[in-house]
Structure 1
Amino acid sequence: MVALAHKKFTIEQYQRMAEVGILTECDRVELIEGAIVEMSPLGSKHIGCVNRLAELFFMALSDVALVQVQSSVRVSDRSQPQPDLAILQRRSDFYSGKLPEPEDIFALVEVADTTINYDRTVKAPLYARADIREVWIVDLNTPAIEIYRNPSPDGYTSVQTVRPGESLAFQAFPDRPFAVGEILADAP
């Protein structure tokens, strides 16, 4: 039996692949723990929820945070995921000089229908190890929103689930709540 070695890439190598055309804008991929991972296709419910969240977050937070939609963040030397939304500290260059890093991130939001297990078992632990303060996973199937807080190397120590009829707020902005039902308006 032959053991196959898998090449682990750094962010610099990953970005260089894009610069020279090995990876293009048409490739829906992200770098997770050194592996180039193909992202799931986006369905209409997923797109609608991301659009709704982008508008809600922009309207409520634009004076205190930058809302980034489906763009990369750098969480380690070997991980450059593309969360559905990132709530970031404002910067005058709008992150054109470098990708947002953990210290720039108030919260990340993943919208999940077909990717719920991946978001829970791969992305949330990755974000916890990177010390991302807060992650929301919007589960379009249940429907519910899982709130992950208090990161540690072993994962988040606080996980809460909220459902339609309840509200939630980012811990960085507790005075700006969102109705769960408004976020999950089109979920089954």
Structure 2
Amino acid sequence: MALTLYKWTLDRYHAAIDAGLFDDQPVELLRGDIVVMLPEREPHACYSSDAADYLRRLLGERAAVRETKPVTLPNASEPVPDIAVVQPPLRRYLDHHPYPADIFWLIEYSQSTLMKDLGEKKQVYAEAGIQEYWVSDLKNSQLKVFRDLVNGAYQTELTLIQGTISRLSFPDVVIDAQRLFS
């Protein structure tokens, strides 16, 4: 007997949210599957909030920084990245979450979710056309940078334990890599 799984569409997922189906559990939609989000531990919460504040100062009004808010992707996905750096102003997202064309880059903070963030989430983001994706690996005190998207796959992976990096769309903004994980 074949096993058939139910795949959620964005519309049905939004209807379920509106009906209060997930009020007691934080979830995200990845490729039509509802994924329960693990609670944040203290280092994750501290470093991601500090990084968001740091990026706001560096970018000023050139970009908006959203913390732990959904983004809507075309592959039946509505993940909730820890940080999304998006086109300003934030009020443009009153009727919809940012789409890939609105997103400069996404950052995930990983402690217990490292496998998911470097595996499924990286693939979902690449397939959706997210130009740059960073993973702050709190377990190993390093920053993983994925960029150079070609045919739905990142061609370049950088691992930084120190030094600086600039985002491709903001080459004049120099980011201290260590500020994002220590």
TM-score, normalised by the number of residues in structure 1: 0.92
Runs (5+) with no aligned partner, structure 2: none
**Structure with the larger helix share:** 2
Aligned counterpart, 1:88: 86
Moved more, 175-184 or 15-24: 175-184
Tell me the residue number matched to 1:44.
42
Shift of 1:121: 0.8
In structure 2, relative to structure 1, the CA distance for the partners of 1:124 and 1:13 (3 Å cut) is same
Alignment partner, residue 10 of structure 2: 11
Equivalent runs, 1:36-75 vs 2, <5 Å: 36-75=34-73
The total of aligned residue pairs comes to 182
> 1:172 maps to which residue?
169
Unmatched segments (≥5 aa) in structure 1: none
TM score, norm. by length of structure 2:
0.95
Which residue matches 1:123? 121
Identical-pair percentage: 28
Look up the SS of the partner of 1:176 in the other structure: strand
Displacement of 1:116 = 0.8
CA–CA distance in structure 2, aligned partners of residues 80 and 118 of structure 1? 15
Partner deviation per Cα, 1:55-100 (whole Å, 9 max, x = no partner)? 1011111310010100000111510000000000113624112110
Letter of the 1:127 counterpart: Y
For residues 90 and 38 of structure 2, the distance between their equivalents in structure 1, rounded to whole angstroms, comes to 33
Deviation per residue, 1:5-52 (Å, 9 max, x gap): 11000111001001111121x421000000000011110010011111
